[in-house]
Structure 1
Amino acid sequence: MLSLKTKLVAYGTAASVVFGIASYKLLEKEGPTASQKNEVLAKVLMQGLSSAHYSPERLDDDLSKKAFALYLERLDYNKKFLLKSDVDQLAKYQTQLDDEIKNGSFKFFDLSMALLNKRLKEAEGYYKEILDKPFDFTKDESIEVKPDKIKFATSQAALKEEWRKYLKYQALIRVADAIDSQQKADTVGNQEAKKTPAEMEAEARKKIKESYDDLFKRMSQLENEDWRSTYFNAFANVFDPHTEYFAPKEKEDFDIEFSGTLEGIGAVLTEKDGYIRVSEITPGSPSYMQGELKAGDMILKVAQGSKEPVDVQGMRLDKAVTLIRGKKGTEVRLTVKKVDGTLKNISIIRDVVVREEGFAKSLLINGPKPIGYIQLPAFYADFNGTGGRNSGDDVATEIEKLKEENAQGIILDLRNNGGGSLQDVVDMVGLFIKSGPVVQVKSATGAPAVLEDRDPQLQFTGPLVVLVNENSASASEIMAAAIQDYKRGVIVGSSTYGKGTVQQFFNLDQVLPATFNAVKPLGHVKLTTQKYYRVSGGTTQMRGVTPDIILPDTYTYLKYGEKEQEHALPFDEIPAAKFSAWQSPSLPMDKLKNASKARVSNSATFSLINQSALRLKERSESTLRSLKLTTYMAEEKKNQAEAKKLEEARKSIPQLDVATLKADVKKLAADTSASARFSAFTRNAKKDLYIQEAVAILKDEL
């Protein structure tokens, strides 16, 4: 059987043929010019979607209408720019978008940009005029805050009124917060001069205006090409919510997010008032090691090696970042203005920058029978083969460190883990089972492929708890499902997200011949090519993984997950794979469930969490907000009182006795920044109610 990585490469080659066959026929034999890039991109993208997607859609009027609806929603989600007349004008094209793609036309897109840019200029006038006058918070009026319940304004006057309420609501929140903060300061004897409500209101308007000045400046810097990705993705997302087009820069950012590494200088940048500023230096990065670039420095110019510098003042942040990032070993020269006003030229050699906070880390929970805790934020992997880290290897390392300290049980925390590398899931499940199938993967046609752990060696044989929540998705769900099907451990928490599809990236440049070089780079498409199934035969698609032991969660009653996404692929089942469940020892599941249920029932904190979840559900359904200060503050005080009950209950919980692993102590002692981050991780783990219940469950089993 092919390994997963081999299978993906093999499939990618076949898909390249599917993409490429049609691509060669797009334009003249001599190839397109740069001005024809968008026509080529649209046709290659749609050919790939229609030919290689797991559940392909026909490029017809029905798809056109669906893409139109998605694009309109993303163009003006809050309905604060376009008028109904604009929407009506655009709607004339809603069954013609498929024809435009086929003909290489962008009339609809160009019209949408013209209308949006016109309305942006008008809206800029609205907010400036509205924020120039005080708001009356004694007037009894309200605002609808859920975009789905709002209709597009029928006139400029009506839209301006929507803006008035929208800005008033933001000012109301700021004023209420200021009053609340001042009242709290009074209770502790703060002697600072008190502000009047009028002063608070004026300050709120000033801050909001500054925020919108910045927002509209950034929006004015957006080019049509930035919006074109949104347009293409409206088509892609009709196929399913996880099929996406990535412009070249977006793909680079995606790789950084999932690998935890990038090649650059290791400085976090922000843009304010037209200037690029350094907000943070990443510990251990080239900037950190070079030592001259500091937080607060303003970057004025960027030069590549010995080339002429480029002025970045007034430049969009993403474009400046592109200039500063670069390949390992190359030189970038920065002209910076220091905090004291002096100018300095700084030369930095780029290198691989590692984001340590995104990697697996562990703690030991002390007791007569110590328990190991591993937090895994993502199933990260070195997708580009540049020598980066893989989550499977890292978790194996953490397990060995825990075994050296006699950990009798392990908690693997996959909460808020959105997924990542499927191969690392297979490797990781293999750490806890002898051998056998981990997941079944099925393309649109043909029999399912069974991805197996073939290594009979077990790295850990003790009791295992896997923590999950509603943000545990994709690869996390495969991991939890496999452990559950094998009865190898106890899944604890809340039902997972419900993403049971497999995506693959295709570089669109690689499916076009050299005659198309003038239009490259085109970017990538992330395409849903397969669905995955549990070894027991069901898919996690739409339904997720239901924990063996369900714990109350703040988001329990909210509409959330894959099942709430537009155009999500349906749930289905296939025959189970052949596998042998864990036998030695078998899980006393009924005993563990009953003991946990008793603890949760007697827990005031879990009871308050459930009450909080019910309030959150009620608030999400009741979306009309008062714009009267006294009414708003009364509601907020009620919410704060309920939240304080939960906060106080959490404070009263005895903290876990946790320890840093001996293998980590020396490393952390040599890096004060890493040590500070690890201390924060430790503090949070000590008082985490869900980790505490996981510990109690393991103790019941031990």
Structure 2
Amino acid sequence: MHYLNFSGFIKGAVSKHCSGVIAVALFVALIGSGVSASISAASALSAQPHHDQTLKYVNYFVERYHYRKTRLDDPLSSRILDRYLDALDANRSYFLAEDIESFEALRFELDDYLGSHNTDPLFSIFNRYRGRVIDRIDYALRLLQQPFDFSVDETYPFDRTEAPWAIDAAALNDLWRRRVKNDYLVLKLEGKQEEEIVDTLSDRYQQQRRRILQISSQDVFQTIINAYMSAIEPHTGYFSPRATENFKIRMSLSLEGIGAVLQSQNEFTVVQRVVPGGPAELDGSLRPGDRITGVGQGDGDPIVDVIGWRLDDVVDLIRGPKGSIVRLKIRPDPKTGKSESHILALTRDQIKLEEQAAQSMLLEVIGPVEVRRVGVIDIPTFYVDFDARSRGDADYRSTTRDVRSLISNLEREGVDGLIIDLRGNGGGALAEATELTGLFIDSGPVVQVRDARGRTSVNRDPNKGIAYAGPLAVIVDRDSASASEIFSGAIQDYRRGIIIGEPTYGKGTVQNLINLDPYSKDQEQPLGQLKLTIAQFFRINGESTQHRGVVPDFVLPGAGPDLPYGEKALDNALPFAQIDAAAFSRFADSGVNLEQLREVHSRRVIDDPDFTYLAGIRELDLALTQSTEVSLLENQRKAERDQRETEQQRIFDNLKNAYGFSDDADELSEDLPRDAVLLESARILTDMSIGSLGDRLVVQLVQDTTAPLANAEKHHNEIGQ
């Protein structure tokens, strides 16, 4: 992805209805009735002065440069309304049917308002939504003061995405009574006592109340524009100034701050962990669990109390230029028994987010006679420090540079084959996909790009030479998208290596980031960025990855249930297309017989303990995903839980027994369950590189510079700064 700056005279749009202003006023009055008294007119959110300017440029760029020819008209207006309501209340748990009926007045009018850079009606919808949310939370808190009868045979419909809207307040009250009852039952089944359950749920609902009241006009505006953009095409979107900054951090894998990961707990900002090598770790005073209650700048600025603040607002105060000082008021973790607050002064520095960078490990594949070493490089995303590169910094960070270094390290260790793991990699910079491919081919085209005018260009390997010429495999799954599909598709087309895993996501479009800040009338007020779909990419064989994705040479199951997924599951994605193939020469023919390798692989996985375990868990997960409601009978829920836990334990016991652990073993290997797909990929690659070593190959970890082979689910619900 690149930043694009366009210049030109942009004319303001004029509504085709001269009575538009009157219509807005009438609509606001219409939906304003019946809104919670908790939201007064004084606290209602509205568009800020710079929003109309931002929308003006959004309209301009979308109409002129989007790959899909777009008109802001009545059909698009209808889709925008639906997307916006889904963004606010996808589970249909807050709005009433009468609300939705009143919003219908806007179905074919939003094109006029947005064309005139007017978002007032959409802000009014949000204010109605916020009032409804507060009403629901207040009702939930009142419900906690009364007992629940778990012997009544009723259900809670937790998935209401296709359900009708609640007809009136009584129907919504009944839905929420069952929702709170379910929340209570979940904790009760965990063994918690009544007082603890009430306290836990009360804290949870109060936190939700605080969050809805902390939403800003900028948040609402971003939601509005993204509803507008997603109604055009799934991958076009808008980044607010704050979201833009976070995007840059994700792409550059660096930021300037103190090196701590923070999260919200009730009204406090709490240290979740410190980043290795950052100022916080080097100082040694800040510890996980500590609460940041105040922030001050420099040596003399006053400490600002941040209790009750939004997490990202606190982070904005803590981040700052390298070399500057920030003072934190720290209340120690309550678990330490200490209660006295203290002031901690830290000098900000550049923090490198190494956990999100490409990393490597070394595996050994042990056969009857020979032992082979396989290097693995895990690439979470195709990152590049755009700003550093544009400044001409010689040592800017990128995926390709990191992978080249990792390859050199692995080759010094001695490897017989290399695996590139792209599972979960949703893409990133287009140029990085091209350059990374160039590490494995000498020269040639990597991807073809067709713009909105139908012009096709070819992105070629920019550097002659090969960083690694040995046996190669690429692992993908259904979350591997975009740049991951460019890389894996090129490797497959050149027959440079084999692709293993699930069919990929199926995203075949190119986005550019358009920086809107230069167009701001007030240079102190940034406008954010527009992520605009400007082209479609095609493999060098002429096929698009759109909808179809990249189909692996060896299809292995992933961890998720087999459900409709990816680009083909989206209702307004671009269709599949095909163009002429580019001129290219395949990599030297290795003489590999894929059918023979597939036969060996198939025999191996039939009784493989790791794949048997994976299949069992997938089957259990599929049963859960097919349900849309749960019983509120305590005895039935307990029986269902016990049955599920028994089945999970049975599947795990079979895995333990297969690896020689007894059912009642006190200590279990930390490597169970293991990464079945990675281990089998190493076996397949070994078969390919030296011929089949047999049906039973043992794979073990030799050197780990990344994560263990054990599957680990990561939850990213915190903000680093």
The TM-score, its normalising length taken from structure 2, stands at 0.83
The correspondence for 1:22, drawn from 3, 10, 25, is 10
The correspondence for 1:481, drawn from 470, 486, 489, is 489
Deviations 1:85-110 (A, max 9, x none): 11111121111111111233333123
Which 10-residue stretch deviates more, 65-74 or 137-146? 137-146
The correspondence for 1:150, drawn from 146, 163, 167, is 163
Aligned 8 A contact 1:553 1:610 in 2: no
Within-5 A mapping of 1:415-426: 415-426=423-434
Following TM superposition, by how much is the alpha carbon of 1:575 offset from its aligned partner in structure 2, in angstroms?
A: 0.8
The correspondence for 2:328, drawn from 331, 334, 354, is 334
Q: Secondary structure at the match of 2:210?
A: helix
Residue 115 of structure 1 is matched in structure 2 by: 128
Residue 583 of structure 1 is matched in structure 2 by: 588
What RMSD over aligned residues (CA atoms) do the two structures have, in Å?
Answer: 2.4
Q: Are residues 1:51 and 2:64 paired?
A: yes
Q: Secondary structure at the match of 1:92?
A: helix
Residue 537 of structure 2 is matched in structure 1 by: 532
Following TM superposition, by how much is the alpha carbon of 1:463 offset from its aligned partner in structure 2, in angstroms?
A: 1.2
Residue 606 of structure 2 is matched in structure 1 by: 601
Following TM superposition, by how much is the alpha carbon of 1:360 offset from its aligned partner in structure 2, in angstroms?
A: 1.5
Residues 508 and 135 of structure 1: CA distance in aligned 2, closer, same or farther (over 3 Å): same
Residue 301 of structure 1 is matched in structure 2 by: 294
Residues 318 and 470 of structure 1: CA distance in aligned 2, closer, same or farther (over 3 Å): same
Q: Secondary structure at the match of 2:386?
A: coil
The correspondence for 2:197, drawn from 204, 207, 210, is 204
Within-5 A mapping of 1:420-459: 420-459=428-467
Residue 239 of structure 2 is matched in structure 1 by: 246
Residue 254 of structure 2 is matched in structure 1 by: 261
Residue 361 of structure 1 is matched in structure 2 by: 359
Deviations 1:671-699 (A, max 9, x none): xxxxxxxxxxx966993211211121122
Q: Are residues 1:565 and 2:573 paired?
A: no
Residue 667 of structure 1 is matched in structure 2 by: none
Residue 400 of structure 1 is matched in structure 2 by: 408
The correspondence for 2:677, drawn from 683, 690, 699, is 690
Q: Are residues 1:628 and 2:628 paired?
A: no
Distance in 2 separating the partners of 1:567 and 1:534:
22
Distance in 1 separating the partners of 2:568 and 2:549:
9
Following TM superposition, by how much is the alpha carbon of 1:484 offset from its aligned partner in structure 2, in angstroms?
A: 0.8
Aligned 8 A contact 1:612 1:642 in 2: no
Aligned 8 A contact 2:264 2:311 in 1: yes
Q: Secondary structure at the match of 1:148?
A: coil
Q: Secondary structure at the match of 2:55?
A: helix
Q: Are residues 1:523 and 2:511 paired?
A: no
Deviations 1:164-188 (A, max 9, x none): 111112222222233xxxxxxxxxx
Distance in 2 separating the partners of 1:75 and 1:455:
47
Q: Secondary structure at the match of 2:9?
A: helix
Residue 79 of structure 1 is matched in structure 2 by: 92
Following TM superposition, by how much is the alpha carbon of 1:632 offset from its aligned partner in structure 2, in angstroms?
A: 1.9
Residue 315 of structure 1 is matched in structure 2 by: 309
The correspondence for 1:545, drawn from 550, 553, 560, is 550
Deviations 1:424-461 (A, max 9, x none): 22222112112111111111114311111143422222
Residue 687 of structure 2 is matched in structure 1 by: 700
Gaps of 5+ in 1: 27-33, 179-198, 656-681
Residues 547 and 422 of structure 1: CA distance in aligned 2, closer, same or farther (over 3 Å): same
The correspondence for 1:346, drawn from 344, 347, 354, is 344
Residue 278 of structure 2 is matched in structure 1 by: 285
Aligned 8 A contact 2:240 2:528 in 1: yes
Residue 217 of structure 1 is matched in structure 2 by: 210
Distance in 2 separating the partners of 1:343 and 1:498:
52
Q: Secondary structure at the match of 2:193?
A: helix
Following TM superposition, by how much is the alpha carbon of 1:84 offset from its aligned partner in structure 2, in angstroms?
A: 0.8
Aligned 8 A contact 2:258 2:351 in 1: yes
Following TM superposition, by how much is the alpha carbon of 1:203 offset from its aligned partner in structure 2, in angstroms?
A: 3.2
Which 10-residue stretch deviates more, 383-392 or 441-450? 383-392
The correspondence for 2:650, drawn from 645, 648, 657, is 645
Aligned 8 A contact 2:427 2:484 in 1: yes
Following TM superposition, by how much is the alpha carbon of 1:511 offset from its aligned partner in structure 2, in angstroms?
A: 3.7
Residues 684 and 349 of structure 1: CA distance in aligned 2, closer, same or farther (over 3 Å): farther
Distance in 2 separating the partners of 1:373 and 1:539:
28
Aligned 8 A contact 1:90 1:111 in 2: no
Distance in 2 separating the partners of 1:525 and 1:46:
10
Residues 323 and 454 of structure 1: CA distance in aligned 2, closer, same or farther (over 3 Å): closer
Aligned 8 A contact 1:489 1:587 in 2: no
Q: Secondary structure at the match of 1:82?
A: coil
Residue 357 of structure 2 aligns to which amino acid in structure 1?
A: F
Percent identity between the two aligned chains:
35
Distance in 2 separating the partners of 1:471 and 1:646:
26
Following TM superposition, by how much is the alpha carbon of 1:608 offset from its aligned partner in structure 2, in angstroms?
A: 4.6
Residue 370 of structure 1 is matched in structure 2 by: 373
Distance in 2 separating the partners of 1:241 and 1:294:
41
Residues 204 and 345 of structure 1: CA distance in aligned 2, closer, same or farther (over 3 Å): closer
Aligned 8 A contact 2:13 2:116 in 1: no
Aligned 8 A contact 1:113 1:224 in 2: no
Aligned 8 A contact 1:502 1:528 in 2: yes
Residue 169 of structure 2 aligns to which amino acid in structure 1?
A: Q
Gaps of 5+ in 2: 15-46, 661-668, 691-721
Residues 332 and 210 of structure 1: CA distance in aligned 2, closer, same or farther (over 3 Å): same
Distance in 2 separating the partners of 1:564 and 1:533:
20
Distance in 2 separating the partners of 1:200 and 1:352:
46
Residue 352 of structure 2 aligns to which amino acid in structure 1?
A: V
Distance in 2 separating the partners of 1:166 and 1:398:
50
Residue 173 of structure 2 aligns to which amino acid in structure 1?
A: K
Residues 480 and 642 of structure 1: CA distance in aligned 2, closer, same or farther (over 3 Å): farther
Residues 90 and 315 of structure 1: CA distance in aligned 2, closer, same or farther (over 3 Å): same
Q: Are residues 1:226 and 2:219 paired?
A: yes
Q: Secondary structure at the match of 2:478?
A: coil
Aligned 8 A contact 2:609 2:658 in 1: no
Deviations 1:610-659 (A, max 9, x none): 3543443343233232111222222223322332233334445659xxxx
Aligned 8 A contact 1:56 1:239 in 2: no
Distance in 2 separating the partners of 1:602 and 1:636:
28
Distance in 1 separating the partners of 2:513 and 2:644:
45
Following TM superposition, by how much is the alpha carbon of 1:336 offset from its aligned partner in structure 2, in angstroms?
A: 2.7
Residue 119 of structure 2 aligns to which amino acid in structure 1?
A: F
Distance in 2 separating the partners of 1:384 and 1:653:
52
Following TM superposition, by how much is the alpha carbon of 1:260 offset from its aligned partner in structure 2, in angstroms?
A: 1.8
Residue 27 of structure 2 is matched in structure 1 by: none
Which structure carries more helix by proportion?
A: 1
Aligned 8 A contact 1:442 1:448 in 2: yes
Within-5 A mapping of 1:493-504: 493-504=501-512
Residue 63 of structure 2 aligns to which amino acid in structure 1?
A: S
Distance in 1 separating the partners of 2:243 and 2:53:
19
Residue 185 of structure 1 is matched in structure 2 by: none
Q: Secondary structure at the match of 1:241?
A: coil
Following TM superposition, by how much is the alpha carbon of 1:23 offset from its aligned partner in structure 2, in angstroms?
A: 5.8
